[in-house]
Structure 1
């Protein structure tokens, strides 16, 4: 009796369902992401409307929607949102303008890296909130203080991450450019920066997400506007509906800005995704 064996080189039939590192379609990704939010709201509604959690500690989704309507119609919440967005992007752009050139210099030139990296690495671990008392003394409680909190929380992260991205350039490309007659400035301008540009853009996208966490800290003290100010006032009134809505608004704005950043990166650096 003879038996036939499947050749060793023949690919195995894929099993249905989830498999490690197996990609999913874009439609399935959207549906799965939406399903989690639906499940989260369902559990939240069940816990609050079912009486498992006191309304004093956690408002129900229905109460949150009512409070959200009051915020927009009676308390000018759109102005608070606008002020918070301005502070985030103002501090973040200021940090990026300073940090990206310094990070490129650190990644490209080892003496610059040896000079700056110990200080940058030290500052990277300092919480931005710890600077608030000093910043209030130096800049008062106006917009400058809030922009500086976001700046301090972002600038050192960007410098180090950009330096790592630039410093990881392929050596063979650098040597090829030298062979073709490029000088040091040409290497940086024509090899290192174009090669690191997608990574730098991704770094900025990630740090922008961190900047949204710093703005609330900046607005908790000495602020008369902004989402953080609204959250602080709502805490004094034990209005958990407004607190939750403020947190959700921050998440939604951050998510939208993240999608915009991703779309812009795909458009500008489509060649890096091939």
Structure 2
């Protein structure tokens, strides 16, 4: 859609409403319109698409999503930002719905239906928890069509990491066992107000084929155990998970190895045997 040409600059909106990024909420505002439009292009064409945004703040990315033609549902827990978002919703002529609340408490599938794209500059303090929840959707393909998310660069690198390095861990396995994850581009800290202490990056994730006979919750429990004590050998880190050491033996995996040396496929194979043992 085309937003009204007389829409006030985002800096003016922030000043008029007395807004400032709240550290306790993990906020950092993005004001660069070109950068925001670039983020909105990552999922592909959003014309007529439903988009879910978490933590819109004063609405910078929201504007870019609306300019891209999306129908946006945004959830914001910071009540200070709601008047600014209400103004934007009025200008958006029915293309923007704002929910005042905590994203962790939203039943997204019921609210949005299937096929929504999630695009968000996630608050740092809940970003990983939300990602894990979205990746662990019970039904697959999930209710979401794609994830385009801003993270600290270190977290982004953990999501796309390959086996063998220190960045490879639980997030990489959960993001890659039935999805395709990539870093779209880095974002300099100077792009934010206020600038965070770290560089950020935009990650794009699309659902893929789910391996049969594996439950997401089982894989989550397995990776929690394996990487919770990542410096220890698997025989130590997995001894508290019933059936895990037997699964290693059946698969011919050396229990003296450490978790980061296994592949995503190895973790999927272990989880499959755990599920079979539970069902037996």
TM-score normalised per structure 1: 0.18
Higher strand share: 2
**Rg comparison, structure with higher value:** 1
Which of structures 1 and 2 has the larger relative contact order (alpha carbons within 8 angstroms, sep 6+)? 1
TM-score normalised per structure 2: 0.18
